[in-house]
Amino acid sequence: MRARASTLLAALALTGVALSIGLPRLGGGSTVGPTNVTPPSTPSSLAFAALVDDAGSGRLPAQERAELVARLRAMGPTALARFLDESVAKDAGETPRLVALECLYGCSTARQVALLVRLASPETAPTDALRAALRAAIVHTLERDPRAEDELAPAWRASEPLREELIAAVGERGQPAGLEFLAWAAEQQEEHLERAVAEGCLRIAPRARGLDEREQLERLSVLLESTDLACVQTMAAALARAQFDSAVPALIDLLASDSRGVRERAQRSLQELTGMALGATPQRWQAWLETERAWLEREAPAVLADLGSDDDARVLAALRTISSRRLQRDDLAASVVDMLVHGNAAVRAAACATLGALGSGVATEALIDCLEDEDDAVLQAAWSALRQLTGLELPADADLWRQSIADVG
């Protein structure tokens, strides 16, 4: 097959297929000069020309085409990016741009994010095919190089028509780190993109367990005030899916919305967040909220103090009380985590159960450590809590859980 590819390249050199590909730099360089300038007939330019020609004709066998793409990717991301930047004209049409995105798709890093966006940005509006190709390329770049997250905001500023594709790529990638970009995008006040941001958040929210992600969800909660009712409903669903109880007051306010869809979604989200079935009346939910706040202000300090008691019975009673609370659960969970190393195995097991009942993911790593506890009851309680918190069904193996959580995060 390599011989056939070499034969093809030799034929291209004779027939001059590559002569129509050479154009001025895409990346902001001079555009002076004719658009049919002939580039040097290098193996790379001939391979690229063959791929562009095949995109229109479909004559190349699939394996031979794959070998030509691999030949270009073998240049490495930096050299390939330079080559493509020089090979695709600013005024080039869809086909060479799609081929360039296909080639760079397989090896791009954070340094190539800006070029990916430029390659998908013809002088006219980007086609659906270019949008899809960019989205796929960004997703795979984020998978290969987490530093690419930092390049999304500059890319956003550089290409207004493709901002929705950047948002969609972050949502498709589905990693909690993407919430920072989505929160930043929400703060840009691009109303026509708010629904896309909310949809991206909905895909990521179930994995948002750490304190950093909770801070990003706080910023994203502004979308509950959007004039786009579909955005409001999607964001309400996302916050419930993330068990983000800080959204409860805003969701109660939405029960009085003029939109039936918003009211119904707010009620479902409140039920998911609290486990309470208080109906659609804002007053009932408000009364419950005030009761929860009163407990936090008046009773919580004493209950939390009991966690440090030398009397194990008082510690266990405090854990039972805490497990029924539905506000500020991340803060409560952070206090309970210390009980996972208590000297009494019954307290450790009860602490695991309490963390599972609270539904806060801030203690996930500490619960994984409990899978190595010498007491089987503690191990089983930690395993149950982890399955409850993450939705994952894995064996009670600490190393396997650590790897799975790392892969998700």
Question: In whole angstroms, how far apart are CA 166 and each of 158, 197, 377?
Answer: 12, 10, 46
CA angle 83, 88, 89 (to 5 degrees): 135
- The reply to whether 328 and 389 lie within a common domain is yes
- The reply to whether 293 and 388 lie within a common domain is yes
CA distance 58 to 340: 62
Q: What is the pLDDT of residue 407?
A: 66
CA angle 224, 285, 243 (to 5 degrees): 55
Q: What is the pLDDT of residue 42?
A: 86
Q: What is the pLDDT of residue 32?
A: 33
Among residues 280, 305, 327, the one where a domain terminates is 280
Tokens of 249: 């007051």
**Structural domain tally of the chain?**
3
* CB of 333 closer than 8 Å to CB of 363: yes
Q: What is the pLDDT of residue 22?
A: 39
- Could you tell me if residue 279 is left (phi over 0), alpha (psi between -120 and 50 degrees) or otherwise beta? left
CA angle 406, 408, 409 (to 5 degrees): 65
Q: What is the DSSP letter of 295?
A: I
CA distance 169 to 175: 11
Among residues 133, 152, 173, the one where a domain terminates is 173
CA distance 314 to 320: 10
CA distance 163 to 177: 18
- The reply to whether 23 and 150 lie within a common domain is yes
Domain containing 353 equals 286-408
Of the candidates 24, 85, 99, the one whose C-alpha atom is nearest the C-alpha of residue 57 is: 99
Side chain identity at 85, as an amino acid letter?
D
- The reply to whether 17 and 79 lie within a common domain is yes
Give the global pTM: 0.82
Domain CATH number, residue 374: 1.25.10.10
- The reply to whether 165 and 217 lie within a common domain is no
Q: Which residue has the tokens 């086909």?
A: 95
- The reply to whether 195 and 344 lie within a common domain is no
Q: What is the pLDDT of residue 408?
A: 61
- The reply to whether 169 and 179 lie within a common domain is no
Q: What is the pLDDT along the chain (409 residues), one digit of tens a residue?
A: 444 444 454 444 434 443 334 333 444 433 333 333 345 578 899 999 999 999 888 888 999 999 999 999 999 999 999 999 999 988 899 999 999 999 999 899 999 999 999 999 998 999 999 999 999 999 999 999 999 999 999 999 988 999 999 999 999 999 999 999 999 999 998 999 999 999 999 999 887 777 788 899 999 999 999 999 999 999 999 999 998 999 999 999 999 999 999 999 999 999 999 988 999 999 999 999 999 999 999 999 999 999 999 999 999 999 999 999 989 988 999 999 999 999 999 999 999 999 999 988 888 999 999 999 999 999 999 999 999 888 888 999 999 999 888 766 5
- The reply to whether 303 and 166 lie within a common domain is no
- The reply to whether 111 and 250 lie within a common domain is no
* Residue 354 burial (CB count, 10 A): 25
- The reply to whether 182 and 308 lie within a common domain is no
Q: What is the pLDDT of residue 159?
A: 87
- The reply to whether 227 and 108 lie within a common domain is no
Tokens of 398: 């600490």
Among residues 254, 280, 306, the one where a domain terminates is 280
Q: What is the pLDDT of residue 392?
A: 87
Measured torsion, CA atoms of residues 50, 54, 56, 59, in degrees rounded to the nearest 10: 140
CA distance 135 to 258: 36
- The reply to whether 73 and 185 lie within a common domain is no
